[in-house]
Amino acid sequence: MGKWVYGFGGGTAEGGAGMRELLGGKGANLAEMASIGLPVPPGFTITTEVCSHYYTHEQSYPEELRNQVEEAIAEIEKQVGAGFGDQENPLLLSVRSGARVSMPGMMDTVLNLGLNQVTVESLSAQSGNPRFAWDSYRRFVQAYSDVVLGVEHYLFEDLLEDKKRELGVVLDGDLQAEHFCELTAAYRALTKSQLDRAFPEDVHEQLWGAIGAVFSSWQIDRARTYRRLHGIPEDWGTAVTVQAMVFGNLGQSSATGVAFTRNPSTGVREYFGEYLINAQGEDVVAGLRTPLYLTRKARQEAGAAEPAMEETLPEAFTQLTQIFEQLEAHYHDMQDIEFTVQKGKLWMLQTRSGKRAAGAALKIAVDMVGEGLLSEQEAVMQIDPRTLDQLLHPTLDPKAPRDLLTSGLPASPGAASGAIVFDAETAEDWAASKRDVILVRSETSPEDIRGMHAARGILTARGGMTSHAAVVARGMGRACVSGAGELEIDLENRRLVCHGRTFEEGDILTIDGSTGHVMVGPVDTVQPELSVDFETLMSWADRHRTMGVRANAETPLDTRMARDFGAEGIGLCRTEHMFFDADRITAVRQMILADDEAGRRAALDQILPEQRRDFAEIFEIMKGLPVTIRLLDPPLHEFLPRAEKDFEAVAKASGVSVAALRRRAEVLHEFNPMLGHRGCRLGVTYPEIYEMQVRAIFEGALAAEERTGTAVLAEVMIPLVSTVEELSILKGVIETAAEQVFKAAGRRMDYLIGTMIELPRAALRAGDLAKEAQFFSFGTNDLTQTVYGISRDDAAGFMQDYIERRIFPENPFVSIDVEGVGELIKLAVARGRATRGDLKLGLCGEHGGDPASISFCQEVGLDYVSCSAYRIPIARLAAAQAAIREAAKP
Amino acid sequence: MGKWVYGFGGGTAEGGAGMRELLGGKGANLAEMASIGLPVPPGFTITTEVCSHYYTHEQSYPEELRNQVEEAIAEIEKQVGAGFGDQENPLLLSVRSGARVSMPGMMDTVLNLGLNQVTVESLSAQSGNPRFAWDSYRRFVQAYSDVVLGVEHYLFEDLLEDKKRELGVVLDGDLQAEHFCELTAAYRALTKSQLDRAFPEDVHEQLWGAIGAVFSSWQIDRARTYRRLHGIPEDWGTAVTVQAMVFGNLGQSSATGVAFTRNPSTGVREYFGEYLINAQGEDVVAGLRTPLYLTRKARQEAGAAEPAMEETLPEAFTQLTQIFEQLEAHYHDMQDIEFTVQKGKLWMLQTRSGKRAAGAALKIAVDMVGEGLLSEQEAVMQIDPRTLDQLLHPTLDPKAPRDLLTSGLPASPGAASGAIVFDAETAEDWAASKRDVILVRSETSPEDIRGMHAARGILTARGGMTSHAAVVARGMGRACVSGAGELEIDLENRRLVCHGRTFEEGDILTIDGSTGHVMVGPVDTVQPELSVDFETLMSWADRHRTMGVRANAETPLDTRMARDFGAEGIGLCRTEHMFFDADRITAVRQMILADDEAGRRAALDQILPEQRRDFAEIFEIMKGLPVTIRLLDPPLHEFLPRAEKDFEAVAKASGVSVAALRRRAEVLHEFNPMLGHRGCRLGVTYPEIYEMQVRAIFEGALAAEERTGTAVLAEVMIPLVSTVEELSILKGVIETAAEQVFKAAGRRMDYLIGTMIELPRAALRAGDLAKEAQFFSFGTNDLTQTVYGISRDDAAGFMQDYIERRIFPENPFVSIDVEGVGELIKLAVARGRATRGDLKLGLCGEHGGDPASISFCQEVGLDYVSCSAYRIPIARLAAAQAAIREAAKP
């Protein structure tokens, strides 16, 4: 026989906080509070398993349920000393839903269940307060009719308004007991006419109706949508918690309130909350009466006159603060609680882990370690790494007014205001004259890199969370909103149209890359300041993590920032962005458009000194730390000139006609550049390009060693490999070029040669590749693209829909697809290490900054992750959490 | 101690035909002939292992080699009764290279080795023919200097010409012994002056020089290129066969010849060959003297006067024909042999499997079964499936003169002449007025489909063997040459320029899709005629194969042809090509460019009747056989209008402005359409498209059933699936639409729903997918693209280079990459079948017509392969061979 019902109250409970899956969050915590002796109104919880049974058995209950519920009610009756449906001394109940996580859209609460034409009189007599009794009854009939029986809410509101108009009063407070009595009769008549049957007098019928309504609400549209959006499985189900009513509205010695055990905005250790005398819980949140402060101190600081709870109900207050301490000591976390004082007696109605601002979370965690409440590991586990973003980027001033224009994807966090410009060049020009600009593009391409650098933020009409704009912006730490599809960019007239509003180039817009909002005009922003708590927590994270954290960085600026944020090396230095510098792009284009090797070499000779300088500087900044440099990767046509004047510049520089250049550019055009002549395929076809890059790396490295006196740890990485033959050929090219440099310098250095694993075939053939590669770096962006056959630049058309409909549990470009991409990674790790035991393994895709993906990396045993500079602290924390979780495994 | 040398001759041999890997083809067959008692001049073979040793040990030989060679020479000396380098009775040798497969570019042969200033006199005395002796010596010095010592061939020719001019004669035959003696002296002087050392007098030095030259020639450029082009591994190496000389030029009772045991052009069982009295082997091929017929019958049929060998050397001829029979009985195959008659005695110099025309091969195989020489299985195994192409497509008349312009890739077999046109529309127009046209494009796109249909052949300047043009042309059975990179297409002036020659639209070109040749002007073609032998062999193939063979076909024409060629159903009916028909493209475009579902549905309503007719017709033709229909797959933007007039047509039809349409088209543009919003992603986003297609399928199927009285076996296939959720959603769409059709018709039918496996993730998650899918069809084109991260349309830039450099052992779009793509297929088969034991498994990529890939399909246990109609016979034969090979496995 199944156990479907768990009772609690009177100092004991059948369940506890650990049974959230079975009892829901609310039920589990009520049981926990009861079991540690806190004053909790007695009650019981019907488990989530009943919900599953309900849906798998044509909306029916397990056989034993009815008996178990009856027994549990008998237990409540015993503890309270009242009878459910008893004419003299009626027991009233609350019925609440309770999923594992709180879920808007579900049926929430029915209070005062057990009232009917008979018991209302008893309540009236017992409380000596007919108005209270009839108001309670009225509220119950309305709530029950609405949420359980499905009668529209507004119909009752209309009756109430009619009543007040009839009486010539404005406030509910002006209504008397008889008015509520009449209203209740009218409500019951309304429900009867709507449903063609009477409002249930039978209290058991009321109870089972409410229980059924909770289970049914699991499948209403809003709840389903919420689950889809938040990745909550359908089969979790909800529990139902039934509890004896307590009343905060039985006069001046009754009250109700909500509180946090610490300040959730600042993290300061102070009692924080609100209460109302003579009120029910819903009054606190309804906003009709202004709640009062809990403590005298808070009241005084706010300059408020109305007395604090500490002053009005000192005994209950003292007991409450003792419970605060007890709860924190018990849960090892800051708590968010609800309580009611009924005629002087304190009852606890709910406790849960309190939501808090990112900065407050850090302070609380660090403080609790100091107070001995938490270990370092527990403190590290308590911070959601994703919230650190708020601390690292400028954010919109929450108090500033805003005029929301449209929304896109929150592609790169931070907020920025500026004049809109429609091309990269204008962005650079205006930025040079000290104007803040927002670069607005349909989508960005590598040609826009300098303009993106110059801009404060990037706004695109197309592309997803992992589009070019998004990836590059995150790398640079620029705010970015991508895929704002409602924007119509009219490049010809240099204007932007959205919802009938037109913005000319130079008009100010504000973007919030953390929410995806686009606002008209400037909005004040707040600059972040890193606290001591941040540093402390990060030091603990570093102490407990086992994976390294490196940065994806390629400019001296990014490299320096990465080191400041705690990067332990560079995991991905892309060399292609360096090619876009204004002073070298023409030479790069000459190289691409050259007809033969000689022409390419002439152009490469011009680029060499610049690349050498880039690398030397990066090596110097990363002094003592490893730097992985990826040889040229993207399709050459990305570098092709588009504007006529660019063609002319190249034509002039290389002495070729513009027409010839255009023909060559046409030949280089590709249908699917992502799958084209790029990566190591370029190195195989044009080894002179890689030769130049390798020379620049080692000449730069030797120069950096000379200046710093420290050995450079260079790792040369070959992209887009699919066969070991590619690797062998290019390893030869690299080694030959390196030897030439060493010979010329009369000095040598150690270095590694490795490969990206970013194609399914590379993962499958990892055993072969490891024969030549000393390290693997998983390029999960491209690997995800090829495993799914989805171009991240083109996914915007369906990605959102796919995630909302749970076709993809998550955007696979944001969080690693463990089932598909993950299997290939695991397989590559196993095959690679089988060939070469000391193979170094890292990950350098966008996923390197995603906590779930970092956790996966820990599980499969990678040596490090690499992510953009701004995500380094997130990665450090997430890696620590992954290591702690792993260590805790049996 | 290693055995490096294998002797043969005198009725025995140390090796045999099975030792081709060790002895090379030539050496192995000489040993085999010796061992079955045929008259073979004694000799020995130095193994291919010596070649490997040579290259892995700095071009040195194994220690024991010299002794083993000396012993082997002693054995020859014993058998012949002459001494190598002996002044009185010199043994002369031939030295030949012999790889496992014959390989042009390698050093071929040095004859008469062992001649020097002394032995030439002995040979002269012994033969009583000073002219023969000195001519032999002269030839030896020339050949040895050329191929062993590296003196340019033409220098010797110059000396010979000088001598003839000096003597006032024209033919070599007019030179006398003393002239050859003088020439030999001049040759030796030339070699000495070129090399600064004397031509070797020492016969052992001569021998080792020749052996070294054979091994060195393994690595010369031409040999390496040949190996790259033909997929011959570097490490196979070559053997060296050294053999006693026999002479066909010792007078009127001596002769030399080549012969086939059957007619290699027709396959008729008749002795077929040529011979020359008093000649050496090279004279037969040199073409200075016209070789004579072997048999009287052949001579008479040709009306030739010169007597046949049957007439001049009747005894040798009789012995030779007995050997023919003996060889065929022994090898169970038609043989290509070389022989020499020295003073009446017949010597066999070579035998090998004879090359033959495709038609001849069929006749020989079928005849040999009749003769009891072969079993059906052996006959099936003897035909190279790829050669059937020649029988199925028109071919160029081999006798017709041709003016070769350039070459591209042999993308779709068959030959075609026609007027060149530069766009699909002109192709249609001209074809409508009965002109044969060749459609010339930089590359083709789906918009060109109708033009391609109208054209006799397609010629593209870009794209590989699996480009759009190639794939579609093969499907249609049109000749196609793709990637002819030397063509410059000047669309503006509507002309083609190549090698300085200009061709206007309307000029005639001829293409040969079997060779990739492009010729100026018309070239006569020959139409194929399928023989009874073809049908017989195919019936045997069908009897012995276990896999089904289906067709990729989507037009009634293709479908009919597929059925004629023996297709057992349709494995892939692409529905997108149907959308390009002139009379529906506007409606299709309306659908794509519609802003909302209502707009799309309106357009779809127009398309429905047309699609229904398509399907009904295909079902009728395929009566009783299964038809797999793939729902719409390619990115919608492929259907977008490009020309202004097309935009106008759509604008008019849908009542929207051209500007609005252009904006919508812009939105639909994708960077990487191959990885974009296509396949089932379209079905998820716009279910109404799939609904319409499903309605058309089932309405068409019910209509076809009514007309034919036979149940339709419809299989609905969902493309580009990566998660089981996509499959569940679309299965729902299909089932709902099907039920509606059945309900309206008052009648139902069985059908299957399945999925393409064409993404790595689909292969990895095959276990999940099989929960919903009743069949899998491996789409190996897309699977190869994603596993490698290579777009087949963009691979032309490096693919050829990659194959030549053996980075890819084969073009993975032509023959399945067993190591990468293959592993995923194996895994998907295992996981899919683990979930659903009766899962039907097929393959419908381009690989379905490739014999090696078909063999792989057999190994992994697929139920069928599907290929374009013209490749059906190839697939049937290849499948039979795969089954026979598999059955033969222990």
Taking residues A764-789, what's their average pLDDT?
A: 97
CA B455/CA B459 separation, integer angstroms: 10
CA A737/CA A608 separation, integer angstroms: 13
Q: What is the pLDDT of residue B285?
A: 57
Helix (H/G/I), strand (E/B), else coil: A670: coil
For B345-363, the pLDDT digits (tens) are 999 999 998 888 788 899 9
Asked whether residue A285 carries a pLDDT value surpassing 60, the answer given is no
B137 membership: H or E segment, kind and range? helix B130-143
Taking residues B420-432, what's their average pLDDT?
A: 89
Amino acid sitting at position B276: L
Q: What pLDDT band is residue A174 in, cutting at 50, 70 and 90? A: confident
Q: What is the pLDDT of residue A425?
A: 87
Q: What is the pLDDT of residue B592?
A: 85
Higher pLDDT, A622 or B250: A622
Asked whether residue B397 carries a pLDDT value surpassing 60, the answer given is yes
B725 to A788: CB separation less than 8 angstroms, yes or no: no
Task: Nearest by CB to B791, from A671, A759, A820: name it.
Answer: A671
CA A87/CA A117 separation, integer angstroms: 10
Q: What is the pLDDT of residue A19?
A: 93
Asked whether residue A880 carries a pLDDT value surpassing 60, the answer given is yes
For A297-356, the pLDDT digits (tens) are 989 988 888 899 999 999 999 999 999 999 999 999 999 999 999 999 999 999 998 888
Q: Which residues of A touch B791 (CB under 8 A)?
A: 670-672, 674-676
Active-site amino acid positions of A: 468, 844
Of A119, A26, A94, the residue nearest A247 (C-alpha): A94
Taking residues B701-707, what's their average pLDDT?
A: 96
Name residue A778's beta-bridge partners. A757, A843
CA B131/CA B643 separation, integer angstroms: 79
A798 to B761: CB separation less than 8 angstroms, yes or no: no
Taking residues B790-797, what's their average pLDDT?
A: 84
Q: What is the pLDDT of residue A405?
A: 93
Asked whether residue B286 carries a pLDDT value surpassing 60, the answer given is no
Asked whether residue A766 carries a pLDDT value surpassing 80, the answer given is yes
Task: Nearest by CB to A798, from B685, B786, B791: name it.
Answer: B685
Q: Which residues of B touch A447 (CB under 8 A)?
A: none
Asked whether residue A484 carries a pLDDT value surpassing 60, the answer given is yes
The sign of the torsion formed by the CA atoms of B269, B275, B277, B279 equals negative
Task: Nearest by CB to B789, from A675, A764, A823: name it.
Answer: A675
Q: What is the pLDDT of residue A768?
A: 96
Q: List Cα–Cα distances, A604 to A555, A587, A634, B41, B550, in angstroms.
A: 20, 7, 17, 62, 53
Q: What is the pLDDT of residue A570?
A: 98
Which range has the worst mean pLDDT, A231-235, B58-62, B876-880?
Answer: A231-235
Q: Which residues of B touch A462 (CB under 8 A)?
A: 667
Q: What is the mean pLDDT of chain A?
A: 91
User: What residue of B is the nearest CA neighbor of A719?
Assistant: B789
Structural contact between residues B478 and B450, judged by C-beta atoms closer than 8 angstroms: no
Q: What is the pLDDT of residue A685?
A: 92
B760 to A820: CB separation less than 8 angstroms, yes or no: yes
Q: Which residues of A touch B469 (CB under 8 A)?
A: none
The sign of the torsion formed by the CA atoms of A782, A783, A786, A788 equals negative
Sequence-distant (6+) residues with CB within 8 A of A675 are: B672, B674, B675, B785, B789, B790, B791, B794
Q: Which residues of B touch A806 (CB under 8 A)?
A: 725
User: What residue of A is the nearest CA neighbor of B768?
Assistant: A819
User: What residue of B is the nearest CA neighbor of A726?
Assistant: B807
Task: Nearest by CB to B677, from A677, A764, A794: name it.
Answer: A794
A789 to B786: CB separation less than 8 angstroms, yes or no: yes
Which range has the worst mean pLDDT, A654-658, B227-231, B782-786?
Answer: B227-231
Top mean pLDDT of A35-49, A267-281, A796-810, B456-470 is at A35-49
User: What residue of B is the nearest CA neighbor of A824?
Assistant: B764
Helix (H/G/I), strand (E/B), else coil: A159: helix
Taking residues A51-72, what's their average pLDDT?
A: 93
Long-range residue pairs from A120-129, CB within 8 A, at least 24 positions apart, any chain = A120/A184, A122/A86, A122/A87, A122/A88, A122/A89, A122/A90, A123/A90, A123/A92, A124/A177, A126/A89, A127/A247, A127/A250, A129/A250, A129/A251
Q: What is the pLDDT of residue B357?
A: 79
* Side-by-side strand order, sheet with A495-498: A488-490, A495-498, A501-504
For B538-593, the pLDDT digits (tens) are 999 999 999 999 999 998 988 999 999 999 999 999 998 778 777 788 888 888 88
Higher pLDDT, B738 or B15: B738
A820 to B764: CB separation less than 8 angstroms, yes or no: yes
Q: List Cα–Cα distances, A741 to A697, A737, A747, A836, B120, in angstroms.
A: 10, 6, 9, 28, 59
Q: List Cα–Cα distances, B6 to A132, B78, B242, B691, in angstroms.
A: 115, 16, 10, 72
CA A630/CA A758 separation, integer angstroms: 13
Q: Which residues of B touch A726 (CB under 8 A)?
A: 807
Q: What is the pLDDT of residue A626?
A: 98
Task: Nearest by CB to B676, from A684, A791, A823: name it.
Answer: A791
Helix (H/G/I), strand (E/B), else coil: B554: coil
Higher pLDDT, A469 or A21: A21
Place of tokens 């683990």: B834
Q: What is the mean pLDDT of chain B?
A: 91
Which range has the worst mean pLDDT, A150-159, A461-470, B18-27, B573-582?
Answer: A461-470
A725 to B785: CB separation less than 8 angstroms, yes or no: no
Q: What is the pLDDT of residue A466?
A: 61
For A703-754, the pLDDT digits (tens) are 999 999 999 999 999 999 999 999 999 999 999 999 999 999 999 999 999 9
Q: Which residues of B touch A789 (CB under 8 A)?
A: 674-675, 679, 720, 722, 758-761, 782, 786
Helix axis angle, A687-708 to A597-621, nearest 10°: 30
Asked whether residue B288 carries a pLDDT value surpassing 70, the answer given is no
Interface test with B, best of A443, A490, A597, A672 (most B CBs within 10 A): A672
Shortest alpha-carbon distance between residue A674 and chain B (Å): 7
Amino acid sitting at position A787: V
Amino acid sitting at position A862: L
Q: What is the pLDDT of residue B473?
A: 82
Q: What is the pLDDT of residue A458?
A: 95
Sequence-distant (6+) residues with CB within 8 A of B655 are: none
Q: Which residues of A touch B759 (CB under 8 A)?
A: 787-789
Name residue A52's beta-bridge partners. none
B674 to A670: CB separation less than 8 angstroms, yes or no: no
B789 to A759: CB separation less than 8 angstroms, yes or no: yes
Higher pLDDT, A839 or A288: A839
Task: Nearest by CB to A675, from B725, B785, B823: name it.
Answer: B785
| Percent of chain A residues topping a pLDDT of 70 | 98
CA A98/CA A91 separation, integer angstroms: 22
Amino acid sitting at position A827: L
Asked whether residue A470 carries a pLDDT value surpassing 90, the answer given is no
Q: What is the pLDDT of residue A288?
A: 58
- Based on the number of CB atoms within 10 Å of its own CB, is B433 exposed (0-12), middle (13-18) or buried (19 or more)? exposed
Active-site amino acid positions of B: 468, 844
Q: What is the pLDDT of residue A286?
A: 56
User: What residue of A is the nearest CA neighbor of B730?
Assistant: A807
How does A425-444 read in b/e, with b if 16+ C-beta sit within 10 Å?
Answer: bbbbebbeeeeebbbbbbbb
Of B692, B690, B695, the residue nearest B740 (C-alpha): B695
Taking residues A760-780, what's their average pLDDT?
A: 98
Place of tokens 């549905």: B601
Which range has the worst mean pLDDT, A26-30, A831-835, B660-664?
Answer: B660-664
CA A539/CA A877 separation, integer angstroms: 9
Q: If you count residue pairs, one on A and one on B, with CB atoms under 8 Å apart, how many are there?
A: 173
Q: What is the pLDDT of residue A640?
A: 82
User: What residue of A is the nearest CA neighbor of B686?
Assistant: A798
For A789-829, the pLDDT digits (tens) are 999 878 877 888 898 788 998 899 999 999 999 999 999 99
User: How many C-alpha atoms does B502 have within 13 Å on its Cβ side?
Assistant: 6
Of B375, B363, B365, B313, the residue nearest B340 (C-alpha): B313
Q: What is the pLDDT of residue A815?
A: 94
Of A173, A170, A350, the residue nearest A278 (C-alpha): A173
